[in-house]
Chain A
Amino acid sequence: MKQLEKRLMILLVLVTISALVISSVIGAPAGTGTITPTSSSRMTDPANGQLTAEAGNVTNFDVSSIRNTNYWAGFYGDVTGTITLETSGGATFYNWSDASPTGEIYASRDNSVTWGSIACASGANVAAEEGTLNILPTASDSMNATFYRVGNHSQFDVGTESFTEDECDYRTNAFDSSGAQIVNWDQILLYEGSHLVYSTIINQDTSGFDGSNYDFELLVATNTTIQTYYFYVEIV
């Protein structure tokens, strides 16, 4: 009887630990662990145009100018995931590799996001972010101009918090190779009490902005000084 009680006790402890670990995995996005940047580049500024006109002439011409934004950076790539059952000390009881995970990627300048407080970003949150990053609210590429009801987003979950389709007002879609579109690459602005959380829904192995297949594309706001972002992932 004593041995049986002991075995039951061990089993109970193991189940409890497993339950705690699983809760942790489902309840909150996790840090991405390993990030392997493969490339980083920006458009070269366009060459100047030239004109030759005769002296004494008044010449009418139109100018088209495209330049890089100073307020945004883009991240894109692939996600591989592992769902694990392990202790807080990192000892793995069991894990499952997921080569084609679904879920979301998040980026924030907060290295300790309070996921339990996550909500759609409000106008005040966005205005505060613009102030912090010195983004002109009137700029054509301001946060408002980029995100306020520009595109749409699918239903998604962040931990135990569920967001219905187009629930968040600050949303847009990154481009695919044909340009602007609203089917994939959902971008959603969330807020967790002190920082904005830039979010995207994983589109597994989907044609991206340059025609290659990726799992995610994510826009984050920045300025002419280097900003550090912390990346999180939630795999479902």
Chain B
Amino acid sequence: MRDHLKKYLLMAIVTLFVIIVINNVLGDPVGTSVTSNSSSGRSDTPVNRADEGGQIVTMLLSATQQNYAWKAYVGNISGGLTLDDANEWTIYDWTLSSYTGEIFASRAGSGIAWGSINCSNASRMATENTALNMGSTDIDNINNTFGETSHANFVVAGRTMTGCPSEAMYVNDSSQVMGANALFQEIILHDGTNTVFTSVLEENLVGYDNSSQFDFQMIVPEDDTGGVTTTYYFYAELDS
């Protein structure tokens, strides 16, 4: 009897040990929400249970973990058209009553060759993966994240973009089926040197959180080595 008790106790301890190990491997649950100005990240409360000694508990653990290889930018755009001289004195201007266009984000702060902008491709996305220390087999690397090509056509610097790597962001906390009519489409472009993440503008649509209205939602990759923060530079192209 004693031997049986010992055996059950040992199994309970092993089970408990396995549970603890699984939690750590899947990536450090966060007990409190992270806020920075208007930034926020997932807030996780660890699950817990209490069992009597001697129990053998079988559990299926489902872990949802904040992705630290990506970050998202959402917001609204206001804009105008102006007729200025080089000193920015305005002889006339117009307020945009409605607009279409794109927001672009790139690690390049200058020198983007907009005249050469075009779809990115698997090779260039793989290069960007490497630059940001994402593994070629990571399920959340750039290639695997932007695996669709059926986005709506749009024009950048006079060139029509079609069939580029793309994906649609979530709406109302749910994924969308990517296609020409999807909302908040994001497309990966490249100018020959730099990757440019592109968000096609919407106009005051309810976004990912089912309450706020946004003009754009986009995700950009972060350096996958912990403790590194990548700066992105934002550009806009508004069609009048």
Contact = CB atoms under 8 A, between A and B. Distances in A.
Interface residues on B, range: 35 or more
Contact of A174 (B76, B78, B91, B110): B91
A41 B236 contact: no
Contacts of B85: 39, 41-43, 210
Interface stretch (A17-25, A28-36, A61-69, A118-126): A61-69
B76 A141 contact: no
A156 interface: no
A165 interface: no
A22 B100 CA distance: 55
Contacts of B208: 58
A95 interface: no
Contacts of A74: 83, 91-92
Interface string B32-47: 0010111111100000
A208 B88 CA distance: 14
Given A43-B84, A67-B82, A174-B92, A58 B233 contact: no
Contacts of A208: 91
Interface residues of A, number: 51
Given A66-B82, A140-B94, A145-B94, A56 B67 contact: yes
Q: When A and B form their complex, which 4 residue pairs have the shortest distance between CB atoms, in order from nearest?
A: A210-B89, A43-B84, A41-B86, A55-B222
Interface of B: 34, 36-42, 66-99, 103, 109-110, 208, 212, 215-216, 222-223, 229-236, 238, 240
Interface of A: 39, 41-44, 48-74, 76, 136, 139-141, 145-146, 172, 174-175, 177, 179-180, 208-211, 217, 219
